[in-house]
Chains A and B, each alone.
Chain A
Amino acid sequence: MTTTHAAPAAVSPRPGLAPSAARTLATAARVLRQLRHDPRSIALMLLVPCLMLFLLRYVFDGSPRTFDSIGASLLGIFPLITMFLVTSIATLRERTSGTLERLLAMPLGKGDLIAGYALAFGLIAIIQSLLATGLSLWALGLDIVGSPWLLLLVALLDALLGTALGLFVSAFAASEFQAVQFMPAVIFPQLLLCGLFTARANMQPVLEGISNVLPMSYAVDAMTEVLRHPDATGDFLRDVLVVAGCAVLVLALGAATLRRRTA
């Protein structure tokens, strides 16, 4: 490759290997642009959680305390489920449309791609959480002792975890049919065991043991801490770190499933 003086297009000697903020941002912008052409999906992502919380409030019309605990937990669970679904389908489409193969044959790092997705869906998750949290606190009378910002922080981490799980799982789905079926397989067991229906301590000991290694349990625990305590407690900090750690771990696993060379 010949180099010219002050060539603005000079290519770095090892393109595609160093993480690139510009490529990550371009990827995030591209994912958001794709979404913008699909306003119905955006509306569903943003409004369905609000509608569910609204329903829930009046299902528990006679027992507002129950709404407090379940509502707070759901504020953490909704972003996880939505982002899981959206990411698993989006990355599956990327795999089946051939664009993933094309991107991996170009100077794009796997980390750039994953970070781009996480960034774009993280942004959607923030908006979703803002709407859901705002509605619950100010319109539906959700009564929490802690700060709404902490609720938002947990919701965001949950969304990241959902993105990570979706990305990872899409590697094992050959079609959109299968990808959707991974939702009950991956999410429902966590939903049953996370302490939403009954305190985890009341479960059969084996199930409690299993719930201790499922990340959603910590997401719900963190929400419960915010519900009951005015400040960030040590338990809250631990729960948040576990959720964040899981998200990073699963994202790394997801990156490992992106292969430049395939059979």
Chain B
Amino acid sequence: MMNSSGAAVVARGLTVVRGDRTVLSGLDFTVWPGRITGLLGPSGCGKSTLMRALVGTQARVTGTLEVLGRPAGDASLRSRIGYVTQAPSVYDDLTVRQNLDYFASVLLPGRRRAEIRRQHITRVIEDVDLASHADALAGRLSGGQRSRVSLAVALLGTPELLVLDEPTVGLDPVLRRDLWNLFHRLADERGTTILVSSHVMDEAERCHRLLLMREGELLAEDTPDALRARTRSETVEQAFLHLVDQADAAARNSSRDAAADPDPFQENHR
């Protein structure tokens, strides 16, 4: 049930205001089905707000935002989108399996579907590789394990669109690789559309398409290869910096008192 253009998400003039600050200003972009789209940019550039707008939990959204052929936030979308917030949102005082049990019965309620729920739960526990911790309290798990529980919840019910807010933050390299392999498996085998945010530019290479963001605006929308070729850069990180410089130069030319951004990559310098 895509829209006529076949896109999973279409945004036109997407604008979000929080307080008196414009967090997203007039974004136009498209997310293609069955692909992994990376949403990249420095911390605080509006990635999480964009994702919240997509899943319909963000207030004061204007412009056009169509998700799986429906306006974002439409009630019929709630069982078709899996959403993982940046901080793991699971019950610390329940075991991994009890967490999944509850969220599964919200998605697939009723006694008739108990068997289907059991299958889903077994599958997602394997997907995130937590079988050995299935009966541990979520609060007792490490940070990386808890974020995988949170991801497992989003995989319940086989959503058509997965919205993942920095799912690999704080994970060790092996786990990060495993998760990216899982994302590719979901896209290739189940045709899941994935929108994944990160402020770590080296993850960009693993995406099919990229949305580069900075200060609530979209710098570029393309494949990693095309971005590198267009900016004659070795890596997506360099391409990003090139685009930032270009945008700054353009801003300086158009207005003398353009506010300069001191360091868009602070997060990576830690």
Residues of A in contact with B (beta carbons under 8 Å apart): 1, 8-9, 11, 13-17, 20, 22-23, 26-27, 29-30, 33-34, 37-38, 97-99, 101-108, 259-263
- The listed residue (A1, A23, A34) touching B94 by CB distance below 8 A is A34
- The listed residue (A1, A34, A105, A260) touching B93 by CB distance below 8 A is A34
Q: In the bound complex, do residue B90 and residue A99 qualify as a contact, i.e. CB atoms below 8 Å apart?
A: yes
B220 contacts partner chain A, Cβ-Cβ < 8 Å:
no
B124 contacts partner chain A, Cβ-Cβ < 8 Å:
no
**Interface pairs (27), CB distance under 8 Å:** A8-B112, A8-B116, A9-B113, A14-B75, A16-B75, A16-B78, A23-B105, A23-B109, A26-B102, A30-B98, A33-B94, A33-B102, A97-B90, A98-B87, A99-B91, A101-B85, A102-B83, A102-B85, A102-B153, A103-B106, A104-B57, A105-B57, A105-B83, A106-B103, A107-B78, A262-B57, A262-B59
* Given A33-B98, A34-B94, A263-B18, also A102-B89 (CB < 8 A): yes
Q: How far is the CB of B136 from chain A (nearest CB, A)?
A: 12
Q: In the bound complex, do residue B107 and residue A107 qualify as a contact, i.e. CB atoms below 8 Å apart?
A: yes
B153 — nearest CB in chain A belongs to which residue? A102
Q: In the bound complex, do residue B108 and residue A9 qualify as a contact, i.e. CB atoms below 8 Å apart?
A: yes
Q: In the bound complex, do residue B91 and residue A9 qualify as a contact, i.e. CB atoms below 8 Å apart?
A: no
Q: In the bound complex, do residue A108 and residue B106 qualify as a contact, i.e. CB atoms below 8 Å apart?
A: yes
* Given A8-B116, A37-B94, also A98-B57 (CB < 8 A): no
Chain B positions within 8 Å of A22 at CB level: 105, 109-111
Tally of chain B residues near chain A (CB < 8 A): 42
Cα A33 to Cα B103 with chains together (Å): 14
A261 — nearest CB in chain B belongs to which residue? B59
Cα A108 to Cα B59 with chains together (Å): 19
B26 contacts partner chain A, Cβ-Cβ < 8 Å:
no
Chain A positions within 8 Å of B109 at CB level: 20, 22-23, 26
Cα A91 to Cα B81 with chains together (Å): 24
- The listed residue (B1, B19, B79) touching A11 by CB distance below 8 A is B79
B235 contacts partner chain A, Cβ-Cβ < 8 Å:
no
Q: In the bound complex, do residue A98 and residue B78 qualify as a contact, i.e. CB atoms below 8 Å apart?
A: no
- The listed residue (B81, B87, B92, B110) touching A105 by CB distance below 8 A is B81
B143 contacts partner chain A, Cβ-Cβ < 8 Å:
no
> 1/0 contact trace for B39-80 toward A, CB 8 Å?
000000000000000011111110000000000010110110
Chain A positions within 8 Å of B76 at CB level: 13-15
Q: How far is the CB of B59 from chain A (nearest CB, A)?
A: 4
B18 — nearest CB in chain A belongs to which residue? A263
B98 — nearest CB in chain A belongs to which residue? A33
Q: In the bound complex, do residue B102 and residue A15 qualify as a contact, i.e. CB atoms below 8 Å apart?
A: no
> 1/0 contact trace for B208-232 toward A, CB 8 Å?
0000000000000000000000000
B200 contacts partner chain A, Cβ-Cβ < 8 Å:
no
Chain B positions within 8 Å of A105 at CB level: 55-57, 78, 81, 83
B137 contacts partner chain A, Cβ-Cβ < 8 Å:
yes
Q: In the bound complex, do residue B102 and residue A101 qualify as a contact, i.e. CB atoms below 8 Å apart?
A: no
Q: In the bound complex, do residue B79 and residue A261 qualify as a contact, i.e. CB atoms below 8 Å apart?
A: no
